[in-house]
Structure 1
Amino acid sequence: MTSDRTTPTTPTPPANPPLTRKARRRNRIVAVTGLTSVWVLLWGTLSWANVISGLVLSVVLLAVFPLPPVTFAGRIRPLPLARFWVRFLRDLVVASAQIAWLAVRFGQPPLSAIIAVPLRVNTDLNLTLTAEALSLVPGSLIIEADRATGTLYVHIIGVRSREEVERFRQGVLDLEGRIVAAIGSPEELSRVTQPHPAGPPEPAHLEGAPR
């Protein structure tokens, strides 16, 4: 005797559910704001012409070259965002003065180093914003970004010891913390406020140092 009853199956939800209209609109606003900010920073002058041209260029880029949707799970916090900009402008001025001094001073050429900095929040948005902020400050340049591990490989100039290299590495983590505090989600914010995992850092390669 056979039974005609079958066990009902529950449909499996898609792995990547489609974004709602509100989420898509918010992501577009974030993308346009980020691209416009980068455009103004590249010009180095805050003016209505640069802001308007950046907005137009951002809209055209997103329309002509649509990117895969990047989920923005955080929220914009005005006070931490203002703190980020104040500290970024300060670092920009200080680094410019230091590079100018290295260019005119006498003596041995400055040492440089390539260091690996694993970020604590491994998302495309955080990786991109941290890399852009580092590259805009004179004296540091991103040579590779490992998306799988969330690691930035940074070339820096003007270091004299491994202690200074480690201070720069910590400075990158502090920069990441300011970015996450400004626009990150509560879960991302908890990651950057916790102590960094213990363990010896990856050694840096000092270029020009005596063997």
Structure 2
Amino acid sequence: MNPESGASPRERAARWRDQLIALGWLVLVWSLLWGKFSWGNLVGGVLVAGAVLLFFPLPPVTFGGRLRPGPLLVFLVRFVGELVSASLHVARIAVQPGYRPRGAIIAVRLRVRTDLNLALTAEAVSLVPGTLIVEVDRDAGVLYVHVLDVHGPQDLTDSRERILAVERRIVRAVGSTAELRQVATDPVERGSGP
């Protein structure tokens, strides 16, 4: 059965647009991998990209939000700050003689469970030194994160709150109005506990 048979014409058009964008990106990557742009590489890229999209279809990732430049700038500035701070912390651990940091794996349930939010939050968390995504439970919206240099339960709580703050900043930057309400009304955000 065709999953698009019950879709509205607007949804089908959006799906085709997304497929064409994916095709374009795959053709561009193909051409860059060959190192030169030629008609042969272009045709070959279209054929390979078409086969990839046909035989390995990706689930549709819908973007129901909108890009907000102000919150996006806040996210980027905070991300760079966390990146520098965490890099210095990990560097200090690496050169400290005889120190053996303890790590832990924590489960963090995200408030917005869309595929896009899961992917963006997981990527942002993984890029910061000292944190690594071990597993993602897509159905439950849970990230399992390894954190470095844990001294006690408060460090685990702080790490969980940092990850939820990253999610909040991402949703503020690119989320829909409903998603913004979700992160704004969550009791964890107001400090009532994990």
Other-structure match for 1:172: 163
Q: 1:76 aligned to 67, 73, 77, which one?
A: 67
User: Per the alignment, in what secondary structure is the counterpart of residue 148 of structure 2?
Assistant: strand
Question: 2:93 touches 2:99 (CA, 8 Å); kept in 1?
Answer: no
- Give 1:152's aligned residue: 143
User: CA RMSD of the aligned region, Å?
Assistant: 3.0
Deviation per CA, 1:13-54, whole angstroms, max 9, x where unpaired? x66546143575478769x99xxxxxxxxxxxxxxx9xxxxx
Larger radius of gyration: 1
Q: Is the 8 A contact 2:122 2:133 kept in 1?
A: yes
The 1-side partners of 2:96 and 2:138 are apart by: 38
The match for 1:119 among 79, 86, 110 is 110
1:101 corresponds in structure 2 to 92
Q: Secondary structure at the match of 1:111?
A: coil
2:129 aligned residue: 138
Residue 116 of structure 1 aligns to a residue whose secondary structure is strand
Tell me which residue corresponds to 1:21. Answer: 13
Structure 2 regions of 5+ residues with no counterpart? 26-31, 33-44
Q: Find the aligned partners of 2:68 and 2:17 in 1 and give their Cα distance.
A: 19
Normalising by the residue count of structure 2, what TM-score does the alignment of the two structures yield? 0.73
TM-score relative to the length of structure 1: 0.67
Aligned residue for 2:149, secondary structure, equals strand
Of Structure 1 and Structure 2, which has the larger fraction of its residues in helix?
2
Q: How many residues align?
A: 164
Which stretches in structure 1 are left out of the alignment for 5+ residues?
1-13, 34-48, 50-58, 202-211
Runs (4 or more) in structure 1 with deviation over 6 Å come to: 26-30, 59-62
